[in-house]
Structure 1
Amino acid sequence: MGRVTSRHKVVRIDLDGDVSRAIDTVAGEEPLEIRINGETFTMTMRTAGADVDLAHGLLRAEGVIARRDDVVSAVFCSDLDTLNVLNLTVPGRDARTAVTSTRNLASLGGCGLCGTTAVEAIEAVVRQKPPEVLWTAEQVAASTDELRSRQVVFDKTGGVHGAGLVPAESDRLAIVREDIGRHNAVDKVIGAALITDVETAGGLLVVSSRASFEIVQKAAVSGISVLACVSAPSSLAIEAADRLGVTLVAFARGRRMNVYTHSHRIPH
């Protein structure tokens, strides 16, 4: 499974004070190979923990699975020297052909294709807009504050992102996950919701990072109505959220936030 954190020697230099030696706690980062029916689907760098959630969320976001029952089992390959290989039994799916149009977007970001092409690829998969669930600005602010208060690994390391889900008609985070990768943290939340039958449609997803295109993609596939991130949005994230019907909130810090798309869901 690997370690969530590890401890390392560090020399601390204070230009206005002393130089000292100490032991620092840092976030773990290790590879995880995800297999479908014994064949490699992808390799991701992640913080160990909630790996089954991560795998389910990734496959859900990529359109490989749609519900919990699509996965018969998720088992670490204990016959190997490392436990960083997780095999999911998904009847009727082949890892070599499970690469969907959404997954191909990983290559679009750096190949010079226009952003419109990337958004259109997602639109072909996400055919239904998120439900018209309203969330007050106070609820968004309270949820980002709650996420920060529940980031246990961040408190120890300062080196991981957090993501949390507030289901529709709720006012508390039902699921919180952390990971060194912001995308992984979101996948872990989506996967945990899938496994535990927590409804994502109409929900509020809060993330302790910038708002990127990939996170908007994951929110849209899951039917999330409002995505709130604590940092800046990218131009493609805004375009995607607008066309996919996701309310995108960024710079959600304290009692201030910017609503970039579908602001009608945040009464003001």
Structure 2
Amino acid sequence: MGRITVRRAVTKLTVGADAVRRSDTLAVEEPLEIRVGGLSLAVTMRTPGHDVELAAGFLVSEGVISRGEQFRSAIHCGGPGTGGPIAGISVGAPADGNTYNVLDVTLAPGVRPPDPELARAFYTTSSCGLCGKASIDAVETVSAYDVAGDAITVDAAMLTGFPDALRAQQAVFDKTGGLHAAALFDAVTGDLLVLREDVGRHNAVDKVIGWAVLGDRLPLRGVVLQVSGRASFELVQKAVMAGIPILAAVSAPSSLAVELAASSGLTLIGFLRGQSMNIYTRDDRVLDDTTQALEAAGSHSGSARP
């Protein structure tokens, strides 16, 4: 749709030098109303693009669906006669009359529609995917998948390369400097499976999960979810709901994120930078040749590792 970035005039000011008027590239942020069967479920602020994936991933995160076969179709329907501004936010319609800011999802026959209690009380912002939850109980959704039982392991040296691989593929971030990214990597081969960018970190993760939904790849066993920022409670929840066993972040996790990861059996890694990382939960999934060599030497000599 060509609406991922926009150009705006800015004043570039450097202390002690003349101000310069120039053009700058910004990441687009617009509301997306997600409807299911014509009924409004949520409004999120997102970067346009991969909207169907975003909606599919969102429905997994909320426990509405858990398999690709349960998601039948989706259509943008934000044109004239659809109710006007979304959540009080006016957005201009292009020449074809469709704002592409309303997406209506059709679930497969027999799939129970979302509980009305899931509906957001107000639209979520790009920094907080949990704003407007009807109750805290709705956050602690039970996953359809046993993350703790996933026996996958990942090589520590390979893991340290994921942030750079993620950053190298952030095409829109290179232009704007204003987007989060999430990607799935194969934990065995290290191959990048999919990467998505968005102004909201939770949206980027939903788009990645939605990619898996549309490809009927759930549960996402044997993969690592790498994110460009911090690891919040909601990102851990989304990973658990999609059956992802390992979540790695370049920044810090929150205390609640660690608690949820521990109770769910998810491996949570933070501060993954350079050759180091902090493993907060399930460190048995991260294998390091040096560590294993030290442990082996200790067992042969009868001494314990310091």
**TM-score of the aligned structures, taking structure 1 as reference length:** 0.88
1:85 aligns with 2:102: yes
What is the aligned-residue RMSD (CA, Å)? 2.4
Partner residue, 2:215: 196
**Distance change (3 Å), C-alpha of 1:43 and 1:241:** same
In the alignment, which of 169, 185, 189 is matched to residue 204 of structure 2? 185
| Matched position secondary structure for 2:147 | coil
- Cα drift, residue 126 of structure 1: 5.3
Residue identity over aligned pairs, in percent, reads 46
- Partners in 2 of 1:205 and 1:173 — Cα distance? 10
- Larger deviation: 128-137 or 72-81? 72-81
C-alpha displacement at 1:78, in angstroms? 5.6
- 1:142 aligned residue: 161
In structure 1, C-alpha distance between the alignment counterparts of 2:225 and 2:248, rounded to whole Å: 6
The answer as to 2:186 corresponding to 1:167 is yes
The equivalent of 1:215 in structure 2 is 235
Q: Which runs of 5+ in 1 are unaligned?
A: none
Gap runs ≥5 in structure 2 = 81-96, 120-128, 289-306
Contact 2:147 2:244 in 1 (8 A): no
Corresponding residue number in structure 1 for 2:278: 258
Residue 17 (structure 1) shift:
3.2
Instruction: Quote the Cα distance in structure 2 between the aligned partners of 1:59 and 1:98.
Output: 14
Q: For 1:46-125, what aligned pairs fall within 5 Å after superposition?
A: 46-77=46-77, 79-80=79-80, 81=97, 82-90=99-107, 91=109, 92-97=111-116, 99=118, 106=130, 121-122=140-141, 124-125=142-143
Larger radius of gyration: 2
Distance of 1:244 and 1:126 partners within structure 2: 12
Three-state SS of the structure 2 residue aligned to 1:260 is strand
CA contact (8 A) 2:172 2:197 kept: yes
Q: Deviations over 1:151-182 (max 9, x none)?
A: 00000000000000013433111100000000
TM-score for both structures, normalised by structure 2: 0.78
Structure 1 runs, 4 residues or longer, greater than 4 Å off: 107-111
Distance 1:226 1:78 in 2: 37
